[in-house]
Amino acid sequence: MKRMTLKFIPAVLLVAVFLLSSCSSAYKVTKAEGTMVAVDSTWDVNPDAEAIALLAPYKAKVDSIMLRVVGTAEISMDKGAPESLLSNLVADVLRNAAGQVLGKPADMGLINMGGLRNVLTEGPITCENIYEILPFENSLCVLTMKGVYLKELFNNIAACHGQGVSGMQLLITKDGKLLEGTVAGCPIEDEQLYTIATIDYLADGNDGMTALPQAEKRECPDGATLRGLFMDYVEQQTTAGKKITSRMEGRITVKDE
């Protein structure tokens, strides 16, 4: 029986091994090797002129959309636990966006730190900046849930050492335990109903927010993506002659030992 050695990049290698192992052949794979190919700026040293020319009109159209300035950031805003300027801002946008479902802001807003993927830097804000910060197709979900499950949610947030929140105040420990949680400064009543504006990804219980699927009611309006809501907010503020800003308010506090 003839023998041969295959050496391809990983994706091609797997296909080759599958094909050779699943059909009758005079050959037998005795060894397989693969290497990692770095995709970085070195590939731009000698660009393909024909490809660049082909893509140029499309790039120009995309740039005209993505580089459009929609507002101005008064300060630079980044994410970070337990509380941050950027997460506070986005949670506030979500909470207020619930007005299209409830006719008023939700009691609380909630966004996960992992859903914020870049910094909002001081100065002009472009569409590209917003796409970089909010690259996912997450959509608004307004949940209604009893206080007993809201307490569980507070524990979920504490275990993550903080998430982006609005309308709630939490006191947690350094090791992720909840010490106290309130809404608008008031303690939680087990049987009382509360509204939470969040994203569908979290409403499904992802990223440790296991209490959210226990909501009694869930409303997710069509087309209300978080990115679109944030874009609308920036443009509305700009039309009103305001810059985009945020502030630290002690929404989540870690108790010193």
Asked if residue 46 has pLDDT above 90, the reply is no
- Percentage of the chain lying above the pLDDT 90 cut: 74
24 Cβ contact partners less than 8 Å away, ≥ 6 residues apart: none
CA 6 to chain centre: 41
Residue 25: the pLDDT is 60
Average pLDDT over residues 57-80: 93
How much is the mean pLDDT over the chain? 91
Average pLDDT over residues 40-47: 84
Asked if residue 50 has pLDDT above 80, the reply is yes
Position with higher pLDDT, 40 vs 3 = 40
Residue 74 per-residue DSSP state: S
66-254 maps to CATH 3.90.780.10: yes
The domain limits of the chain are 2-33, 66-254
For residue 134 the two structure tokens come to 């909010």
Distance CA 86, CA 226 (A): 14
Average pLDDT over residues 203-227: 97
* Spatial contact of 4 and 27, defined as CB atoms under 8 Å apart: yes
For residue 132 the two structure tokens come to 């970089």
Average pLDDT over residues 177-196: 97
- Percentage of the chain lying above the pLDDT 70 cut: 90
Q: Predicted confidence band at 109 (pLDDT cuts at 50, 70, 90)?
A: very high
For residue 121 the two structure tokens come to 């830097």
- CA 184, 228, 99 angle in degrees (round to 5)? 35
CA 46 to chain centre: 35
Average pLDDT over residues 184-194: 97
Residue 39: the pLDDT is 85
184 phi, psi to nearest 5 deg: 55, 35
Per residue in 118-151, pLDDT (tens digit) is 999 999 999 999 999 999 999 999 999 999 999 9
Cα distances (angstroms) measured from residue 35 to each of 16, 17, 38, 214: 15, 15, 10, 47
Q: Predicted confidence band at 69 (pLDDT cuts at 50, 70, 90)?
A: very high
* Spatial contact of 20 and 29, defined as CB atoms under 8 Å apart: yes
Q: Predicted confidence band at 95 (pLDDT cuts at 50, 70, 90)?
A: very high
Average pLDDT over residues 193-214: 98
For residue 158 the two structure tokens come to 């504490």
Q: What is the pTM of this model?
A: 0.81
Distance CA 106, CA 31 (A): 60
R_g (Cα) of the chain, nearest Å: 25
